[in-house]
Chains A and B, each alone.
Chain A
Amino acid sequence: MEQLYQRDVYGKTIVELGQKDKNIIVFDADLSGSTRTALFAKEFPDRFFNFGIAEQNMMATAAGLASCGKIVFASTFAMFASARALDQVRNSICYNNLNVKIVATHSGITVGEDGASHQALEDINFMRAIPNMKVIVPCDGAETKSAVIAAYQTGGPFYVRLGRAKVNTLMQKKDFVLGKGYQMCEGKNLAIIACGVMVEEALLAAAMLKERGLSVGVYNMPTIKPVDTKLIIDIAKKYGKIMVCEEHQVIGGLYSAVCETLANTHPGFIERIGVEDKFGQSGSPKELMECYGLSAKCIAKKAEQILRK
């Protein structure tokens, strides 16, 4: 299976888009090497602006520039893109409904060794709550490319959440449609709905469960907002039991989006896998996924408990 850094794909994709469209401008805040916007900076130095360690200014300036008819990609780590500059994102970018595409890298617990201060686990929650904002959490390199292109082609603000580590390629590029979820494997007893790195964990868990005689369906839900309500309702009708898996706090992310979708019309059993209202810590991504209950093994264990109850 091909392994890619989502941020490598992001950097290359904006270079490709930049070759075709001169209106694409890229912003970064002293992390261009890590976010890979440096690739764009090298190719188009006149259309790249480094704001230094000043994310609030970067976001509000992006709003001003986007109002001149530009499409601005603004990148930094997810922690600073969401929490640090949230007021600027809300009031300058989203209230004005501007073409600012925030592509944030180093999200979630798998940031690893940098520890809690750098592990954005609330960003989906923050961004999802703002009117006009659309939120995509791609699971691999191919989906990252599609998501960046979709953000470019669709008007208004976007938050695209990428990880730090290399990930296996699970999707085909042509698969992605904004606002749509995908069945990765079919099952009978339980449906897992996941996003980001948790899609692969869910697939691994489903394989483990299959060996134990349990049939679990896995669904990839890259667009958190607007979420695919039709698919979620179909899943609820078909399976009855759902487990939502995300590399995010259990408050305000994909689990919340699924619950909000089903609460009125199809309330039922919805279990969750996520960070349980805690801060992270330093460690290898593998150790942390295990410790915070996000690994395939943890998913399989919880699913088995539910199904054998």
Chain B
Amino acid sequence: MEKKIRLLKSKASEVRKLIVEMLARAGSGHPGGSLSSADIITCLYFEVMRHNPKDPKWPDRDKFHLSKGHCCPAVYAVLALCGYFPKENLWTLRRFNSMLQGHPDRRVPGIELASGSLGQGLSIALGMALGAKIDKKDSRVYCLMGDGEIQEGNIWEAAMAAAHFKADNLCGIVDRNYFQIDGKTKDVMSIEPLVSKWKAFGWQVIECDGHNFEELLDAFNRAKTIKQKPTVIIANTVKGKGVSFMEHMVDFHGRAPTEKERDIAMEELSEIEKSECETE
């Protein structure tokens, strides 16, 4: 277990560095939510999900759908580290002719379906979950949503339907980082009480620290055992996690770091990496 966690931590640290570098080079994009969700996505691809980077369309794979499409740098970084495509591709993010579009596009190996217009992803994931059920596959479907995103009505239509259809192979994750573009979620449009909302819609709810791999792994493992209803993991996170001047800062929801900020961020991320190695 300890070895597993150490590996996940080191992968997540690499992912964060790639996110910062990618966004600095692109000159635009969304660092805040990419960093808050980096541990969740790393955990899924390096431990939880059944997938094969050499065969992205493997029929028996588990599927991941990024409903909060603007946080694609985190997914791109993870996919590159898994070997879905060369790491060099990351430096073409948001550039003309790049497969790494500003929001996910199907042309990327490992990306199931496009996203970007918020609120539709849980429905898409439900469709995939129903597909697995119809074909009698034991594949699971994971859908990462933003906490601001769940203000979209479509999310709750999907939530109602997933419980109705008993989609127990569907696992939603809410990246609860407490911020959206215009400010704190509680100021812009309150989404609490989050746990009882999902419960009322018929979901099994698991709360956890979205930066703690033991808790994340435990949550994903518990979700696999829940039958007859879908599970949602409310992952409490920190917007901009890992870079001091981005943490809890709404400004970095949708602004790329400058070169100078990139350098400071890289130093900080290396420091964290070093201290983690020492404590172990």
Contact = CB atoms under 8 A, between A and B. Distances in A.
Interface string B155-184: 001101100110000000000000000000
Contact of A52 (B120, B128, B153, B161): B161
Tell me the interface secondary structure of chain A in the complex.
helix
B214 to A, nearest CB: 31
A70 B123 contact: no
A54 B131 contact: no
Nearest to A22: B134
A22 to B, nearest CB: 9
A67 B134 CA distance: 13
Contact of B113 (A47, A49, A54, A63): A63
A88 interface: yes
B113 A57 contact: no
Interface stretch (A90-98, A234-242, A250-258, A264-272): A90-98
A64 B117 CA distance: 15
A90 B117 CA distance: 10
Contact of A91 (B116, B127, B134, B157): B116
A233 interface: no
A92 B113 contact: yes
Given A54-B157, A96-B106, A60 B127 contact: yes
Interface centre among B106, B112, B134, B160 (most CB of A within 10 A): B134
B205 interface: no
B134 A61 contact: no
Interface string B87-114: 0000000000000000000100000111
A2 interface: no
Tell me the interface secondary structure of chain B in the complex.
helix
A266 to B, nearest CB: 36
Given A54-B160, A96-B114, A88 B123 contact: yes
Interface in A212-259: none
Nearest to B117: A91
Interface string A66-92: 111110000000000000000110111
A155 to B, nearest CB: 14
B134 A25 contact: yes
Contacts, number: 101
Nearest to A63: B124
Nearest to A70: B131
Nearest to A47: B134
A62 interface: yes
Interface centre among B117, B120, B135 (most CB of A within 10 A): B120
A211 interface: no
A64 B126 contact: yes
Interface in B116-138: 116-117, 119-121, 123-132, 134-135
Residues of B in contact with A, size category: 20 to 34
Contacts of B131: 64-65, 67-70
A163 B270 CA distance: 64
A57 B17 CA distance: 36
Nearest to B135: A68
Contact of A96 (B113, B125, B154, B161): B113
A60 B125 CA distance: 9
A52 B160 contact: yes
B161 A54 contact: yes
A92 B154 CA distance: 12
Given A56-B157, A61-B158, A64-B123, A49 B116 contact: no
B65 to A, nearest CB: 8
A97 B115 CA distance: 13
Contacts of A90: 117
Given A47-B134, A54-B160, A87-B120, A61 B126 contact: yes
Nearest to A51: B161
A180 B119 CA distance: 38
B158 A57 contact: yes
Interface of B: 65, 106, 112-117, 119-121, 123-132, 134-135, 153-154, 157-158, 160-161, 164-165
9 contacts: A49-B165, A54-B157, A57-B160, A60-B124, A63-B127, A64-B123, A67-B112, A68-B135, A69-B131
Given A60-B121, A61-B123, A96-B114, 12 more contacts: A49-B130, A54-B161, A56-B154, A57-B126, A57-B158, A61-B124, A61-B126, A65-B131, A66-B127, A69-B131, A92-B124, A96-B106
Interface of A: 25, 46-47, 49, 51-52, 54, 56-57, 59-70, 87-88, 90-92, 95-97
6 closest cross-chain pairs (CB), A and B: A64-B127, A68-B131, A60-B123, A57-B157, A65-B127, A64-B124
